[in-house]
A and B are shown apart, each in its own frame.
Chain A
């Protein structure tokens, strides 16, 4: 199975901060990586697919990038509604796997 190591697990930040979350795959997954945002009691929401493509309707302050097997989700200026848990997901092969999640909390 492909392992996704996501870090940090927890992040404390202020409104307006630039935030970066990293997801490292245990093997090459090409660009078959997606990022999701989940708020408490809610279903996950797709933010980024194919490593760097912004899902329709998602604010442009979110961006994704890839360097080999390392993937990054960046929020350029954290907004109050961005405090949530973020997950990466690989769709290169089965089983589909998720990172452990990064909880972004208010500093």
Chain B
């Protein structure tokens, strides 16, 4: 079964840092682009960023709202995707979802999400 499981969410103060993890299983992790999407409480979906695969030199893309503060990486030996979040603001409070990008570009698999709360 294809599965994504996020972890690492929690309460952090403004200006702080947090690293989210996403454990992938049931598919060849190294073949896929992976994305993070977030959803603020009661709001819609917002794309955060993409991490491409080895074939595309692990290049990344980010939303303007997080560029320079967030970074995405992966550990292929352990099938893990990471989202490093620095200089966190209250606007970053959201459920963060790890997603798999399919060959047709859509996000065909989603994790259950992990809640990040930025508050003093």
Contacts and interface: CB of A to CB of B under 8 A. Distances in A.
B14 interface: no
Contact of A95 (B61, B107, B108, B110): B61
Contact of B45 (A32, A53, A94, A98): A98
Interface residues on B, range: 20 to 34
Interface in A63-99: 87, 89, 91, 94-99
A62 interface: no
A44 B106 contact: no
B105 A32 contact: yes
Contacts of A95: 47, 61, 63-64
B106 A49 contact: yes
Interface of A: 32, 34, 36, 38, 43-46, 49-50, 53, 55, 87, 89, 91, 94-101
